[in-house]
Structure 1
Amino acid sequence: MHLSATRTGGVAAAAALLLSLTPLAASADIPDVPVPGARAVPAADSLQQAFGVAADRYGVPADLLLAVSYLQSRWDAHDGSPSVGGGYGPMHLTDARTPWPRLADGEGMLAQAASLTRRPVAELRADPAANVRGGAALLAAAQRRAGHAPSADPARWRDALALFSGAQEPAAARAYADEVFAVLREGPHRTNDAGQRIALPAHRSTAGAPESTDRSAAPARDAAASTGPVECPPTVSCEWIPAPYKRLDGSSDGDFGNHDLADRDRDGSIDYIVVHDTEGSWKTALRLVQKPDYVSWQYTLRSSDGHIAQHVPLKDVAWHAGNWYTNATSVGLEHEGVLTAPDAWYTEAMYRASARLTRYLAERYDIPLDRLHVLGHDNVPGATPESVRGMHTDPGPYWDWAHYFELLGKPFVPTAGPDSAVVTVRPEYQAHRPPYTGCGKKSTEPCPEHASGAVRLHTAPDAKAPPVKDIGRGTDSTVQVNDTGARASTGQSFAVAERRGDWTAIWYLGQKAWFTNPAARPTAVNTTAPLLTPRAGLASIPVYGRAYPEASAYPADVPAQPVVPLTYRIPAGQRYVVGERAPGTYFHAKEYGKPGRVIRGTEVYYEIQYGHRIGYVKESDVTVLGG
């Protein structure tokens, strides 16, 4: 979440093998008791078996139950820990505090599931198999409540799915049902957080949800799925909750908030999508974005169901990135969540809605789907040397970029041989669990062990070697969860500086940085990409946090903005992966009520993956090498 956004020359704003089972007639009167003589199954497949048993007992198609659970939790149990909504287990059964449709005796999903299965709530929370039975019982009850008989055809459960979602908005309920059918078509398989192997066979055709090979696509719904002047794909639930564009009360200089009018659809200045998390609740985020003296962003996504609210038209400039150049050239997506509590907030429903939205934006503005154009807020550079230390760190090391890009249809896969000049960071998310601190009140307090998509970078090929130092921050790097100084994240690509046994070195922040990359369990894949290096004869070149035009490009009525290099440099011989190439631009927004202007220069810049954050270098300073 952004508590501040810097505007230069304008306003300063504060702020899983499926068991084919013939279902029994579903009945709330069937007690949920162990099946006599049930054969033992291998431990790693026991949850898969549990889905089949639960589906059989409650008359729910087993594949549908698997799809619902995948959407709820990706089949993870989180060791009995609840989500922020009080959701437990593979079916994400919520507690009594969460409003949910009345399908049985009790309040909330857990109490109603306990009533239907005749199992105690504590067991439904802690035992994944019992949790799955509870979810199956609730889905069967929803089918009865919808006035439908049990069916082996998943498509006949659409109304039950909408009820099961618990969504208050009809559009969000329809979107949930659509998403379940999308999961059925995809047929995911994975090993969950407890080491359980789960597989769901793909349904190549599902009635009520047309077949699609696009992982980001889903069936279109009627226009009621969206409200107001929203700019969203028809595959998500979206509403319009505008951010205010107005003069600030008591302002003596015509100051205004909380975004700028622009014409970005015409001038083609949108190059990036920035992924944030709110570091707070949906309600808080909506309250803040509606304050004229606070900052703004284009979209907020709700954790529980992926519902989206749009606040600022895409043509206009929101104040979200903490870097005015990035604000002017990007769209900001805020995700309800807290980076230190990913299991509580980063839900599958939200990942999928976000991926659909990002795909829509990328197609609309011709934005490449890679990590140099789809940025985390923690990848945005400081605009000036003074701002580097205060840059944000969300969505953090626990955000699953690999899964996100799989949903985008752009997985990170090898594209080169073992001696490639470029590697793309890609640890196996579930198995990769580097330690972090600072998830509690103290920065030195260890965080709970958790999967991560980030690798740690060292000064030497030795796990005991110090982490590389981020000179721009002026402090030694740590393993603190908010410290990005010695971190490379999934999808980021870097030039290889050296390989030595199980270690790979990359050029990073002007130095050689090492990370463990054993052949038996690689944390990066070999790829290709264009590279650049300082032009011959230059000992080093500066790195910038923004790509502003030269002074002569500004008209007389627009003050020229200083082109200030950061404290970072690229020494001769080092190479960095190239992203966007564009002339220097500055978005000038001064007068209330009038769209701002884009000033473009002749000085051309290249975006590079410099460290954990991107940077910019002048074309005149570099030589570009082939990919």
Structure 2
Amino acid sequence: MRRSISLRSAVAAIVAVGGLALIQPASAGTLTGPLTGAPVAGSAGSQARTAPGDRQAAFAEAAEAYDVPEDILLGVSYLQSRWDANAGLPSTSGGFGPMHLTDVAALPRTPQHHTGPDEDPRGDDARAARHPVETAAPAKIPASLRTLERAAELTGESRERLREDDAANIRGGAALLADYQRQLGAPLGGDPAAWYGAVARYSGASDESAAKAFADEVYATIRSGADRVTGDGHHVRLRAVPDLRPLERWLHRLGLRKAGGNGVECPPTISCEWIPAPYAEFGAGDYGNHDLSDRPSNQKIDYIVIHDTETLYEPTLRLVQDPTYVSWHYTLRSQDGHIAQHVKTKDVAWHAGNWYVNSKSIGLEHEGFLAQGGAWYTEAMYRTSAKLVRYLAQRHRVPLDRAHILGHDNVPGTLPSTVSGMHEDPGPFWDWAHYFELLGKPLRSTGGQKSGSVMILPDYDTHRPYYYGCDSANPSAACPPHGSSSVWLRTEPREDAPLVKDIGKHPTGESLYSVYDHSARAATGQRYAVADRRGDWTAIWYLGQKAWFHNPADHPTAVPSPGLVVTPRPGLTSVPVYGRAYPEPEAYPADVPVQAITPLQYTFSAGERYTLGQAAESEYYRAVTFDTSQHRMVRGKLRYYQIQFGHRVMFVKADDVKVSLS
């Protein structure tokens, strides 16, 4: 258990990485404070950042120096980092800076899948629990995870400077692109259309479809143009070149493998391959690692669940190919957004730790780490993930909102005993607002200031709350300041008030400021009923209590979002909440054991209100044998409502509550 510590403004390094001596030392700079955003003194030897506005010039200078079209350099960088430097922190695949130069030294030493020792990923107490196995590190580090090393050779810059100095990093990326172009025998400079092969090579992909999909997305970005202010205040613009069409004739010279399709369920504009999870028996009536089904014919798909892997891509693939353990439907690779599908969407994967959710969901694992080993997700992965989710949501009629597009950290425990062991990924650094923009459903205010419910929506780049626990070597150290999708919830409307408690997560203790503890956090896109307002503070109903968060009008962290809310039916002082919507006992046929309807440990009392996410039919899919002819679907007359009760969604019986408009 990680202990709670007092707030601090010290910035702890997320990883310690080696490098060559500095060639061009820079003066000390400033870093952003973890709570207020105010500058704090830079540490000794910290590298200066280019001033706001200078990053555009850095791209122009690097493009000229290495004879790379500026549009190409800007387009590649946008698809990797959206031109952000990310405060010198590595991505989830060890990439640094605007050009995502990868350094194997920044990767975790002991990669491990995120499933905890106390959780059964199936989440079905009708069967014996499954527990995780350790996964080994990849035997060979691919060249795609060592591009910073090559950039140092090409530019003469130190590795440290390429990691920490934005302009040097951009020069390193330009040098790599020029090197790739020369290796292909293609001309430098000139027409951006002739750089298609070099752009595809920059993806780091070993398979042709992934390299091509990455290059296609870069060229699509150049055609449409882009304009944004980065998280550290640099205004960068990529002019639109609507008629640009790439010349693909150098692509075949890359010698990339052809990835297998086998009927993958993906849109044609992204790179997907079929790497199946096994459906196999292994003795004593046991089997794995998923259940065959016939969704949506026998059961509607209501959820798409976003995970991160907490290990690298290759170990993740090895894990899902082990029949004795967990499964999920898709894995997404960080560096280029390539996707492997493992389980057909009609079948039930074991991924969420809640059988009711598993049987009604599709699970996506994103290569990455909630905190350790990386602090940001690549734009390439965000984009392919959004394209896949949009495709799946349209195909299965899943609404694109935060009641249906869940993080693993939003999935409820099934019983009081399982609540504390449920997952925290993808964590507070997943940019939900940007993700929903890519989904084509941007999150925005839909009501007046006096609305009875709000949607959490801080400005990701400038909202940098304090967390600790990002450095496994020093778990009590403060995390480096970083944009976040979550807001802290307090017992009173003041900054020094204690965090609200979660009696399920911490039955006898306090909520923690740990990056792994969501007990007192609300996340972007989640909607809550307003309980009170006082000056710059707003209170919401959260786990049976008033929870306050700072929400000033000139820099809001939530926006009005009216909608349906539920309250206890008149005459009831409280109603139970549940982690699954199982049928009434009378609905079960004689040959299917009745599943208990067990309330969780929380209280939903009269006077409280919670937002309604969807009406939920009572269902139980019994699948405990390898023989699919023995699988049964049980549907009841009992109806439930899904509500936003805390950080996780939960369920109440429809007969226990009344519904009204907030």
For residue 203 of structure 1, report the CA deviation from its aligned partner.
4.2
Q: After the TM superposition, which of the residue ranges 113-122 and 561-570 deviates more from structure 2?
A: 113-122
Q: Does 1:294 find its partner at 2:325?
A: yes
Report the equivalent of 1:624.
Answer: 659
Letter in 2 for 1:452: S
Q: Does 1:608 find its partner at 2:634?
A: no
Kept after mapping to 1: 8 A contact 2:287/2:625: no
Equivalences for residues 111-510 of structure 1 within 5 A? 111-150=149-188, 153-207=191-245, 227-249=261-283, 251=284, 254-341=285-372, 343=374, 346-441=377-472, 444-473=476-505, 474=507, 475-510=509-544
For residue 361 of structure 1, report the CA deviation from its aligned partner.
0.9
Return the alpha-carbon distance in structure 2 between the equivalents of residues 205 and 149 of structure 1. 21
Q: Does 1:599 find its partner at 2:634?
A: yes
Structure of higher RCO (CA pairs closer than 8 Å, 6+ residues apart): 2
Counterpart among 544, 548, 558 of residue 578 in structure 2: 544
Q: Deviations over 1:110-143 (max 9, x none)?
A: 3443454454444433321122122223223333
Return the alpha-carbon distance in structure 2 between the equivalents of residues 199 and 500 of structure 1. 41
Kept after mapping to 2: 8 A contact 1:422/1:526: yes
Report the equivalent of 1:47.
Answer: 55
Kindly tell me: are residues 205 and 378 of structure 1, through their superposed partners in 2, closer, same or farther at Cα, counting changes over 3 Å?
A: farther
For residue 555 of structure 1, report the CA deviation from its aligned partner.
1.2
Q: After the TM superposition, which of the residue ranges 340-349 and 548-557 deviates more from structure 2?
A: 340-349
Return the alpha-carbon distance in structure 1 between the equivalents of residues 222 and 571 of structure 2. 58
Kindly tell me: are residues 597 and 96 of structure 1, through their superposed partners in 2, closer, same or farther at Cα, counting changes over 3 Å?
A: closer
Kept after mapping to 2: 8 A contact 1:427/1:490: yes
Return the alpha-carbon distance in structure 1 between the equivalents of residues 361 and 74 of structure 2. 37
For residue 42 of structure 1, report the CA deviation from its aligned partner.
9.1
Kept after mapping to 2: 8 A contact 1:336/1:345: no
Counterpart among 576, 583, 592 of residue 558 in structure 1: 592
Letter in 2 for 1:132: I
Kept after mapping to 1: 8 A contact 2:454/2:528: yes
Kindly tell me: are residues 202 and 542 of structure 1, through their superposed partners in 2, closer, same or farther at Cα, counting changes over 3 Å?
A: farther
Letter in 1 for 2:622: H
Secondary structure (helix, strand or coil) at the match of 1:498 reads strand
Q: After the TM superposition, which of the residue ranges 89-98 and 254-263 deviates more from structure 2?
A: 89-98
Report the equivalent of 1:217.
Answer: none
Report the equivalent of 2:99.
Answer: 91
Return the alpha-carbon distance in structure 1 between the equivalents of residues 166 and 212 of structure 2. 27
Kindly tell me: are residues 484 and 80 of structure 1, through their superposed partners in 2, closer, same or farther at Cα, counting changes over 3 Å?
A: closer
Secondary structure (helix, strand or coil) at the match of 1:134 reads helix
Report the equivalent of 2:76.
Answer: 68
Return the alpha-carbon distance in structure 2 between the equivalents of residues 391 and 380 of structure 1. 8
Q: Deviations over 1:518-547 (max 9, x none)?
A: 112111111222212111221111111000
**How many corresponding residue pairs?**
568
Q: Does 1:581 find its partner at 2:615?
A: yes
Secondary structure (helix, strand or coil) at the match of 2:600 reads strand
Return the alpha-carbon distance in structure 1 between the equivalents of residues 445 and 223 of structure 2. 26
Report the equivalent of 1:21.
Answer: none
For residue 392 of structure 1, report the CA deviation from its aligned partner.
0.8
Kindly tell me: are residues 508 and 201 of structure 1, through their superposed partners in 2, closer, same or farther at Cα, counting changes over 3 Å?
A: farther
Return the alpha-carbon distance in structure 1 between the equivalents of residues 89 and 654 of structure 2. 51
Kept after mapping to 1: 8 A contact 2:371/2:515: yes
Kindly tell me: are residues 476 and 306 of structure 1, through their superposed partners in 2, closer, same or farther at Cα, counting changes over 3 Å?
A: same
Kept after mapping to 1: 8 A contact 2:92/2:367: no
Kindly tell me: are residues 132 and 316 of structure 1, through their superposed partners in 2, closer, same or farther at Cα, counting changes over 3 Å?
A: same
Return the alpha-carbon distance in structure 2 between the equivalents of residues 365 and 146 of structure 1. 43
Q: Does 1:77 find its partner at 2:85?
A: yes
Return the alpha-carbon distance in structure 1 between the equivalents of residues 421 and 597 of structure 2. 20
Kept after mapping to 2: 8 A contact 1:268/1:365: no
Kept after mapping to 2: 8 A contact 1:78/1:343: no
User: Identity, % of aligned pairs?
Assistant: 57
Letter in 2 for 1:530: L
Secondary structure (helix, strand or coil) at the match of 2:53 reads helix
Return the alpha-carbon distance in structure 1 between the equivalents of residues 511 and 153 of structure 2. 52
Kept after mapping to 1: 8 A contact 2:102/2:148: yes
For residue 381 of structure 1, report the CA deviation from its aligned partner.
0.4
Kept after mapping to 2: 8 A contact 1:401/1:453: yes
Kindly tell me: are residues 532 and 77 of structure 1, through their superposed partners in 2, closer, same or farther at Cα, counting changes over 3 Å?
A: same
Kindly tell me: are residues 143 and 204 of structure 1, through their superposed partners in 2, closer, same or farther at Cα, counting changes over 3 Å?
A: same
Kept after mapping to 2: 8 A contact 1:269/1:329: yes
Kindly tell me: are residues 554 and 206 of structure 1, through their superposed partners in 2, closer, same or farther at Cα, counting changes over 3 Å?
A: farther
Q: After the TM superposition, which of the residue ranges 454-463 and 467-476 deviates more from structure 2?
A: 467-476
Kept after mapping to 1: 8 A contact 2:63/2:174: yes
Kept after mapping to 2: 8 A contact 1:96/1:111: no
Kindly tell me: are residues 108 and 42 of structure 1, through their superposed partners in 2, closer, same or farther at Cα, counting changes over 3 Å?
A: closer
Kept after mapping to 2: 8 A contact 1:295/1:319: yes
Q: Deviations over 1:32-74 (max 9, x none)?
A: x9xxxxxxx9921011111122223333332221111111222
Kept after mapping to 2: 8 A contact 1:261/1:593: no
Query: Structure 1 unaligned runs (5+)?
Result: 1-32, 34-40, 102-106, 210-222
Return the alpha-carbon distance in structure 1 between the equivalents of residues 241 and 645 of structure 2. 43
Kept after mapping to 2: 8 A contact 1:487/1:612: yes
Q: TM-score, normalised by structure 1?
A: 0.85
Q: TM-score, normalised by structure 2?
A: 0.81
Return the alpha-carbon distance in structure 1 between the equivalents of residues 149 and 413 of structure 2. 49
Letter in 1 for 2:81: S
Letter in 2 for 1:70: Y
Kept after mapping to 2: 8 A contact 1:498/1:505: yes
Letter in 2 for 1:622: V
Secondary structure (helix, strand or coil) at the match of 2:368 reads coil
